[in-house]
Amino acid sequence: MDTTFDKTGAAILALNDLYIRSGVPASNAPRPSWYKVVGLILAIVSGLFIGVSFVLKKHGLLAANVKYNEEAGEGYGYLKNVWWWCGMTLMILGELCNFAAYLFVDAILVAPLGALSVVVCTILSAIFLKERLSFVGKVGCFNCIIGSVIIALNVPTQSGIDDINELRHMVAQPGFATWGSLVVAVSLVVAFWLGPKYGKKSMFVYLTVCSLIGGLSVVAVQGLGIGIMAQTRGIPQFNQWFLYVVLVFVIITLVTEIIYLNVRLLSVLRCRKR
């Protein structure tokens, strides 16, 4: 009996040694501590860039309306405005930093820090666009900062998934599939039915589209980032078809967000003129 146990133990140790030599990391292995620092810095820089971009784009929209005598929310004169393009450039840089942050930390840290862009935009709008910030708005900004700090201090050191195959398995789960399908369906209804009817009266119509699609975009961007990081660790990812599905989905969702974010800014200007 003892001999049998000895042989079994030796076999298990041999298999474990082969597994370690293969270079495949253990599931949910702790990440290096500097990953969190780099991801945190990238997320903060992203929030700063995106926050400033909102102010620049809105300034460009206002200037274009005056220069080309356009009604707020109508026309494309802003495409000829240098301030609008500066804002768009900063937004692209911010999104790139945001994507890079997903390479180092999970969405549970990056997404909340995106709220910093709201705080930056609010402060700069009050300074440069002479917009008033109510008491409720100040409390909201304070809560954004406190919430982001608390989450940053308590973010887990282990990743939920390690490669694109794990993401494919989790996406195929009934819960996520149902939620994702519902989000897409509601977004289509809001964009193509409610938008034309109520989009000129309320900014929340197109804001809803940005928010819903943004939720899916976060998952897709993080999945793409995890796939890239797994590839750098020696785990083949670019031979997996699902990685390219995620890439296409990232492009579609980000373009959709940019389009409806611009429409939302135009609707804000329209609502203020009423």
- Tell me what percent of the chain is helix, strand and coil, each rounded to the nearest 5: 80, 0, 20
Residue where a domain terminates, one of 117, 141, 157? 157
Q: What percent of the chain has pLDDT over 70?
A: 79
Number of domain units in the chain: 2
* Spatial contact of 164 and 230, defined as CB atoms under 8 Å apart: yes
pTM of the model: 0.67
Position 206 scores a pLDDT of 79
Which domain range does residue 264 map to?
159-274
CA distances to 137, 140, 146, 165 from 214, rounded to whole Å, are: 22, 20, 22, 23
Q: Quick one: 83 and 150 in the same domain? A: yes
Q: Quick one: 152 and 193 in the same domain? A: no
pLDDT tens, position by position, 43-76: 899 999 999 998 998 888 888 877 777 665 556 6
